[in-house]
A and B are shown apart, each in its own frame.
Chain A
Amino acid sequence: MIDFTFTEEQELFRKAAREFAETKIAPHVPMMEETNGGWDEVVKELAEAEMFAVTIPEEYGGLGMGYMGRLIALEEIARVSVATAMMYQVFGLGIEPIMKFGTEEQKKKYLPKFVTGERLPTVAVTEPSGGSDPKGARTTYKKVNDSYVLNGRKCFITNSHIADVQIVLAKDEDNPEAFTAFILEIGMDGFKPTHIEHKVGMRGCNTGEIEMKNVEVPAENVLGGEGKGLKVSMSAIGDAGRGGMVGCALGLQQACLDESIKFSNERILYGKPIGKLQAIQFKIADMKIDLEAGRLLGYRAAAIQDQGGRSSNEFAAAKYYTTEAAQRAAKMAVDIHGGYGCMEEIPVTRFLRDSYVLGPSAGTSDIMKVIVARWAVS
């Protein structure tokens, strides 16, 4: 018998996360939308609420709540602010490879500081040439004596200007088949964030570019071994990255549903709330079905992970399904709002813009289908 219920403890996690999102994050949202900034404030809130500790094992000062705990937290944060959830999910993405591939020294050095938010990680793989084909990357490293020298540029990097620990994938200058992941730290000469992006949605979520000019990285900052870079980065993105996007998408779906129900109960047409009209009810039903299905896909993949398995394929299916569903939900929510759906002060217009940023993050829907197809025929 499969148990599809959340434990009492998981329900409490959700309650805590919801309270946090509604009381601590929601007040920042208007400012984030207005200025495309505010991430320092939001990061502080996340740290105070122990959000960065969620996935980190207890031996490093974390909470060891696993993928399930993270998915619950993400879903509740995204319900209030997808931009915040996105930043939070990518911090998790940065934590993951150090937990999985880091040496004991690296774990001891970084993980306890991630727990408190004193240090913040991200992963930098994508380049102007794309993110899903890392082999086309141009960022290179060259071994000089006992250290490595990196050169290149990474773009569309979430938390580029917040994270002071960045896991950068680079290619051996002399061997285009060899990739290595390096832990770069702000303060290393020649390494800095540059341009800040202005996305159509998820405003206030920091996305930007980083630049490496003759950055000298000591050997102890190699993550997962020389030549193992693709495995390190792809594994992190496949599990934590896709899984994180599922949380963002589910939260947004829930938000679309909540706002639609609220509006359709309030809006009077023909003398009664529009929620009594079947045309509206069908849209609500579609959103609800998508949400229920997406939750099953997402939480199952997370449960597999927590039981010690790998579920990057399951997460690919879930990522495809939930981010597509979030876009459908946002469109339906806007449609339900009629003319109000065109007004910037109405939250659903933000949902629509946010939903379109969910698609390409951590791999487009088409890439997800490629992965799922490979999984199906294997």
Chain B
Amino acid sequence: MSKIKTQVFVMAEQAGGRIRPVSLQIVGKARHLADQLDSKVGAILLGQNVTERAQELIAAGANSVYLGDSDSLHPYQAELYTEIIVNLLLEHRPEIFLLGSTFMGRELAPLIAAKLKTGLTAHCIDLLIDNEGILEQKIPAYGGMITIICPEKRPQMATVAEGVFLNPELDSTNIGDIIPIDLPEKFPLRVQTLEIVVEKPEGVSLETASVIVAGGAGAEDQDGWQQIAKLAEVLNAGFGSTRPAVDEGWTELETMIGQSGKMVSPELYIGVGLSGELQHMVGIVGAKVMIAINNDAKAPVFEQVDYGIVEDCRTFVPALVETLKKSND
């Protein structure tokens, strides 16, 4: 076993033999935090045929990779993963443990936190180290930002969504240890993942779109939603959504922008029929021009954009699309 004192641990998740971008992003952030704490980064990588990927985590900034590569680790099994990770954390006693806000991360994190009797913060949009070396976990709520800390219990645990932190520069000259994990023999599973089915190919990435149209509850129904979709199509823009639109069933969870969804940084953002709840707005980082269309002049979105149009999107958007089409002809 390793003698390296590592204080910031990361759950590195892989899918289809690739490290998920969110995991690399968190390793990059962990590197920053560890530098401030004058300590090391440890990444946990579990799966089948994943040994080759361990080096990528080192390139992203991990000092050690705790590697479990076995048939029994595929597909993801909550109880087995929890057991392995809890044992590692108990052995190494890190100060901080970060996971991606993936479906796996969101299930494992509370199972691990409850076992370790420690705190856990959901979908942080920033992580800082305060003067006493404590992790400040920032989440948006109630029209502002809330700082949460876990002062006594360890590790301090948080989940982070994809895109919150930048992709780290991968440095293949980095040197680190790859440490195989002793896997438990025969582990009884009361809950067993039979299969993981991928139905939809990963679509056009909202994360890289230079123009994004996002729709919200103001669409009112599927018809209204299709009108906004048309606007996105005419502008050749990525089409994002808010939580209420996903809840209404107009679109897939994958299109949701915000704290528990995607983080995007377009040049131009057009928010249509959405109120500007912070949970959504924090997902738009560094847009040059922001525009909002909403029928409620008091909607908070009008405090967060450059241009506001107070109109019902159900009348305005078709008129806009019509005019855009004419000028294109």
Contacts and interface: CB of A to CB of B under 8 A. Distances in A.
> Do A and B contact each other directly (Cβ–Cβ < 8 Å)?
yes
Interface of A: 265-268, 272-273
Main secondary structure of the interface of B (DSSP, over half): loop
Nearest to B311: A266
B228 to A, nearest CB: 19
A265 B298 contact: yes
A272 B295 CA distance: 13
Contacts of B296: 265-266
Given A267-B297, A268-B310, A273-B297, 4 more contacts: A265-B297, A266-B310, A272-B297, A273-B298
13 contacts: A265-B296, A265-B297, A265-B298, A266-B295, A266-B296, A266-B297, A266-B310, A267-B297, A268-B297, A268-B310, A272-B297, A273-B297, A273-B298
A272 B298 CA distance: 9
Contacts of A265: 296-298
Contacts, number: 13
Contacts of A273: 297-298
Interface in B240-296: 295-296
Contacts of B310: 266, 268
A272 B302 CA distance: 12
Contacts of A267: 297
A267 B312 CA distance: 11
Interface string B123-162: 0000000000000000000000000000000000000000
B53 to A, nearest CB: 50
Nearest to B294: A266
Contacts of B297: 265-268, 272-273
Q: Which residue, of A266, A272, A273, has the highest number of chain B Cβ atoms within 10 A?
A: A266
B37 to A, nearest CB: 49
Nearest to B297: A273
Nearest to B295: A266
Q: Which residue, of B296, B297, B298, B310, has the highest number of chain A Cβ atoms within 10 A?
A: B297
A211 B238 CA distance: 65
Contacts of A268: 297, 310
A272 B297 CA distance: 8
Contacts of B295: 266
A336 to B, nearest CB: 15
A266 B295 CA distance: 6
Nearest to A272: B297
Contacts of A266: 295-297, 310
A267 B298 CA distance: 10
Pick the 4 closest A-B CB pairs, nearest first: A273-B297, A266-B295, A268-B297, A268-B310
Contacts of B298: 265, 273
A267 B307 CA distance: 17
B298 to A, nearest CB: 6
A111 B137 CA distance: 63
Nearest to B310: A268
Nearest to A271: B297
A258 to B, nearest CB: 14
A273 B296 CA distance: 9
A189 to B, nearest CB: 49
B139 to A, nearest CB: 29
